[in-house]
Structure 1
Amino acid sequence: MIQLDSLTKVFDTPKGAVVAADHIDMEVPAGEICILIGPSGCGKTTTLKMINRIVRPSSGKVFIDGKDTTDMNTQDLRRSIGYVIQQIGLFPNMTIEENITVVPRLLGWDAPRFKKRAREMMDMIAMDAEVFLKRYPSELSGGQQQRIGVARALAADPPVMLMDEPFGAIDPINRAVIQDEFLKMQQELNKTILFVSHDIDEAIKMGNRIAVFREGKLVQYSSPDDLLAAPENAFVESFLGEDRALKRLNLVKVRDVVSNEIGTVRPDETLETALARIDDFGYQNSILMVNDRHQPVGMITRSVARTTKGYCRDHFQAAPPLASLDDDLRKVASLMFAHDTTWLPCVDEQGRVSGQITQRAMTRHLGSRYRSRSEERIHAGREE
């Protein structure tokens, strides 16, 4: 959807020419979010602004959906691209409805159509149209204004969106909420998005691809997983931080690591049966008790099963914390640390046991990715 072909910007200053963006080559497939990240002054925002011509390129081209935008009318180009900035930029003398419908009105939409669109956008960003549409920006919180900024950028249904640190001015709690809401919207909208950020954790969470910039140059352009597993050089490695292996926990879902080898007992089975099944799964010191719907209802420990007679229904402890198949490994690791355990049962959307996840399996999964990338590099070095 977006292709940058040797895109370059040189600024003339009293001290001479400054290269802000140096022959940037990138392709962003339709429906993906690409995060531009790097230290201050590295060229990421300049690159973003050249796409909608807020900054005019010194050389190079921008293609959108295969079309060269060089000779496009600047106003038409900008109206076809959604744009969100950190400062939000809502018009203070306009109502929220008027702010959201700015571009549709410029495009000649009739009143019933753009008013309907404003209400659709309010539903999409989880704000009550009856409460907020007639208010002014000054009557909203910073987080609410940011949501309106996103709604305004989406109102005319542009295929491409540019976002310049859109959540940077919001407090951490609201930022996480808005990020999650935006990702849910993206699953439905499937927009192609270039997104400038200074936060590597935000980049990993939000991006399908990450472009790392340094001194006007594109240093590495990879998926988040590839970026963390195989930094291109020492600069990228230092930028990612020493905890980059832990950052990968955000990228892996439980369903990628879950094992279906898990022992269970029913309430009407004996403790002797429970002990035998615990022994069958020798690395565990307990076993899960499930009901007729195969949902966890408790846990039998080895010590109880070995020293007590009777039925499981009379001697169980509370069920351990559960992991959903769609949880990421960061949440799982947090639960394991908090509850001093090395394994968790996993459940599906109906709450039925579908397997287990262990600390060892998580370590192996993450480690195998690093080992494979290291082997690829060694092999490539030998071929050279």
Structure 2
Amino acid sequence: MIRLDNLTKVFDTPKGAVTAADHITMEVPAGEICILLGPSGCGKTTTLKMINRIVRPTSGKVFIDGEDTTDLDTQELRRNIGYVIQQIGLFPNMTIEENIAVVPKLLGWDKAKYKERARELMRMIALEPDAFLKRYPSELSGGQQQRIGVARALAADPPVMLMDEPFGAIDPINRAVIQDEFLKMQQELKKTIMFVSHDIDEAIKMGDRIAIFRAGNLEQYSRPDELLANPKDDFVESFLGEDRALKRLNLVKVRDMASEDVGTVAPDEDLQAALMRMDDHGYPGSIMMVNDRRQPVGVVQRSVARTTKGYCRDHFDTLPAVARLDDDLRKVASLMFAHDMTWLPCVDDEGRLCGQITQRAITHHLGSRYRVQQAEPVAEV
């Protein structure tokens, strides 16, 4: 959907020519989010702004859906590209409805159509239309204004969106919420998005592809997993950080790791049966107890089963945490550390047991992309 062909920008300054973007060549497939990442002054925002001609290229071409945009009318080009910036840029003298409808009005939409579009987008960004459409930007919080900025960019249903640190000025809690809502919207809308960020964690969370810039050059352009596993050079490796293996925890969902082979006991089974099932499955310390709806309700400890008689329902410990199928491994690892557990049961939306996930499995998965071939296996401690 977006193709940059040797895109270059040279600025003339009192001290001479400065190359802000140097022969940038890359493609973003339709429906994907590409994050432009790098230190300040590396050329990522300049590259973004050349796409909608806020900054005019010195040389090179921009293609959108296969069409060379060089000779397109600038206003027409911009009306077909959604644009969101960190400073939001809402018109303070316009209501929220009027802000959202700016581009549809310029495109000649009739009143009923753009009003309905505004209501539809408000619902999409989780803001009640009747409560917000007649307000002015000054009456909204920063996070709410940022959502309106996203809605305005989507108003005319553009195939391409450019986003310049759109969530950078929002506090971490609201930023995470808006990121999650935006990703849910993207699953439905499938826009092609170029997204500038300084935040490597945001890039990994939001991006289908990540472009690392340095001093006007495109250093590496990869999918997040490949980028973290195989940084091209020392600069990229240092930019990603020494914890890049741990950053991969954000990329893997529980559903991709859960083991379906799980031993369980029922409340009305006796402790001897629990002990034998632990032996059968090789569980050294405990076994899960599930109810008649196959929902995990507790664990029976081996130490109790060996020394006590009776039924599981009378001798179990409450489960401190469970993992949902759509949780990422970062959340799972955090729960394990917080509750001093080496495994967690995995449950679906109804809370039914689907499997389990272990620290050992997570460690093996993380290391598999980084592990060099060794002549001899390392002895287990």
Structure 2 residue aligned with 1:47:
47
Instruction: Report the residue type matching 2:135 in the other structure.
Output: R
The answer on 1:17 being equivalent to 2:17 is: yes
The answer on 1:353 being equivalent to 2:353 is: yes
Give the deviation of 1:281 after TM superposition: 2.5
Structure 2 residue aligned with 1:382:
none
Instruction: Report the residue type matching 1:130 in the other structure.
Output: D
Structure 2 residue aligned with 1:277:
277
Task: Return the TM-score normalized by structure 2.
Answer: 0.96
Q: 3-state DSSP class of the match of 2:4?
A: strand
Distance in 2 between residues matched to 1:320 and 1:129, nearest whole Å:
39
Q: 3-state DSSP class of the match of 1:370?
A: coil
Structure 2 residue aligned with 1:145:
145
Structure 2 residue aligned with 1:220:
220
Offset from partner CA, 1:104-140 (integer Å, 9 cap, x none): 0000001111111111111111111111111111111
Distance in 1 between residues matched to 2:58 and 2:310, nearest whole Å:
82
Give the deviation of 1:262 after TM superposition: 1.3
Q: How many residues align?
A: 373
Structure 2 residue aligned with 1:310:
310
Q: 3-state DSSP class of the match of 2:369?
A: helix
The farther-off stretch of 281-290 and 234-243 is: 281-290
8 Å CA contact 1:320, 1:344 repeated in 2: no
Give the deviation of 1:175 after TM superposition: 0.6
Give the deviation of 1:313 after TM superposition: 1.4
8 Å CA contact 1:2, 1:62 repeated in 2: yes
Q: Please give the residue correspondences for 1:100-115 in structure 2 after superposition, counting only pairs within 5 Å.
A: 100-115=100-115
Offset from partner CA, 1:39-76 (integer Å, 9 cap, x none): 01000000000000000001100000000000000000
Task: Return the TM-score normalized by structure 1.
Answer: 0.96
Q: Percent identity?
A: 81
Instruction: Report the residue type matching 2:84 in the other structure.
Output: V
Q: Please give the residue correspondences for 1:152-163 in structure 2 after superposition, counting only pairs within 5 Å.
A: 152-163=152-163
- Runs of at least 5 residues in structure 1 that lack an aligned partner in the other structure: 376-384
Give the deviation of 1:283 after TM superposition: 4.0
Structure 1 residue aligned with 2:205:
205
8 Å CA contact 1:299, 1:320 repeated in 2: no
Instruction: Report the residue type matching 1:114 in the other structure.
Output: Y
Distance in 2 between residues matched to 1:284 and 1:102, nearest whole Å:
64
Distance in 1 between residues matched to 2:317 and 2:238, nearest whole Å:
46
Structure 2 residue aligned with 1:266:
266
Structure 2 residue aligned with 1:93:
93
Instruction: Report the residue type matching 1:60 in the other structure.
Output: G
The answer on 1:329 being equivalent to 2:329 is: yes
Q: Please give the residue correspondences for 1:19-38 in structure 2 after superposition, counting only pairs within 5 Å.
A: 19-38=19-38
Distance in 1 between residues matched to 2:160 and 2:285, nearest whole Å:
53
Q: 3-state DSSP class of the match of 1:56?
A: coil
Distance in 2 between residues matched to 1:366 and 1:316, nearest whole Å:
33
Give the deviation of 1:370 after TM superposition: 1.6
Offset from partner CA, 1:338-373 (integer Å, 9 cap, x none): 1111111111222211111110000101111123xx
8 Å CA contact 2:228, 2:240 repeated in 1: yes
Calculate the aligned-residue CA RMSD, in Å: 0.9
Offset from partner CA, 1:11-43 (integer Å, 9 cap, x none): 111111100000000100000000001001000
Structure 2 residue aligned with 1:381:
none
